[in-house]
Amino acid sequence: MRSHVPSRIAVVGTGYVGLGTAGLLAHLGYRVTGIDIDPDKIAQLQRGVVPIHEPGLDLLLASQEDRITWTTDYQAVAEADVIFICVGTPPGPDGTPDLRYVTGAARSIAAYLGDRPQVIVNKSTVPIGTGDFLQRLLEDHAPQFDETRHRVASNPEFLREGTALADSLYPDRIVLGGHPEAVEVLARLYGPLIEQSFTAPQGIGRPDSYSRPAVVRTTLQSAEMIKYAANAFLALKISFANEIAGLCERVGADIQEVTTGIGLDGRIGHRFLQAGLGWGGSCFGKDTQGLISAGREHAYPMPILQAAIDVNYRQRNVVVEKLLRHLKSLKGKRIAVLGMAFKPNTDDLRDAPAHDLIARLHQLGATVLAHDPVAMPRAEREWSHLTYTAAPDPATALRRADAAIIATEWEEYALLNWRDLVGTMRQPLVVDARNMLRETLPAQVEQIGRESVQVQKEAVLV
């Protein structure tokens, strides 16, 4: 394989990663074909309808519609210089990542590999060693496979839902793993991104302090491990903050003052030290469990990572315990849950803490009213097994409620007129599980890692 400048790209999978990748590469000037086996999703995209909620993504894709084609036909692989695999890897019952979608995509790609240089790039989060597995899979199923022409590479994504486009356009680092020739092809592909020579898209301006990303060239195995280790470490930071928060409540300390103080240490930093309801979504839990599963395969226990998971899911019980402490029993009580998505600025419900809260509240006999600015239509489809009433707005959810839980830190909730709204509740009890309320209210306010009764002031940096 000679290093060449790629021009045509195929992206397999049209979820958060696939759509973001397609939009990014089209904006950099490449011809992109998005492939998905779901005809309904492809039909939506062909009509210009984006099937997920990600701020700015619809505008970016619309601006590049002349460069992007959507199809269910893998034939597009034959003309592609680089093929990105961006499919899901959900956890199995024992925490081991399920590779059925990756395997299926690889087999479909194999049938159309041609007699020209092509790089097959895994952007899906996969167990260490999957790149080698895919290389063997292509050898077995591609009629024209040639290891000098067809290389598998790893290029993990580090996107945060809600800020995925900015994370894609202005990344901290770009990790490229694989054979040096394949890595060089990807480095050329990402040239405009590395050099930041592209024009920033409307609404996603380049930060003033941003210069260019670091580029990490490494092996397949190291690239795969970097992705897992990064997410596991971030999950560990959040769980650490939550564990410290529990002790803060018991000794009279304030977690926000504590994390402000320790975060000023440059070795620690403030990011991902926010105490609250814990993490959710499709990455942290799955990737942390994936590392634990990999350790199990090699008879190598990973107790620190297991503790991070245990602490995280304990936080969901902490919120219910706070309700019980004040209400004594939840039978017949009306509880408002504000926020259903696992984080703001997305409609993603995977492993959302609100799911477990709603289930537990119903189990304890409560009537639940739930609201979310964008995720309620998706919840109607994906959470049909839960018992709750969808509230059209926060005010409706709070009216005559015995308690309210802020489960997702949507800005919309911070801007509510809480002083008036708590007056409409049967009992003015608010469990602010995201520590986002700043004003003193005529209500009993419980936060995480802080004294109850009133919302205190944040630590002030002098």
- Cβ distance 223 to 178 under 8 Å? yes
Give me the DSSP letters along 104-152. HHHHHHHTT--SS-EEEEE-S---TTHHHHHHHHHHHH-TT--TTTEEE
Task: Please pick, among 52, 121, 283, 309, the residue that the annotation labels catalytic.
Answer: 283
CA dihedral sign, ordered 452, 433, 315, 236: negative
- Cβ distance 419 to 441 under 8 Å? yes
At 5, phi and psi to the nearest 5?
A: -90, 110
HSE (side-chain half, CA atoms, 13 Å) at 156: 30
Can you point out the beta strands (E) in 36-101?
A: 68-71, 82-85
- Cβ distance 194 to 236 under 8 Å? no
CA dihedral sign, ordered 341, 343, 347, 348: negative
Which tokens sit at 435? 């520590």
Residue 6 makes CB contacts below 8 A (sequence gap 6+) with 30, 81, 82, 119, 185, 188, 189
- The span from the CA of 409 to the CA of 342, in Å, is 9
How far from each other are the two terminal CA atoms of the chain, in whole angstroms?
58
- The span from the CA of 69 to the CA of 156, in Å, is 23
86 is catalytic: no
Give me the DSSP letters along 351-398. T-HHHHHHHHHHHTT-EEEEE-TTTHHHHHHH-TTS--EE-SSHHHHH
- Catalogue the active-site residues: 283
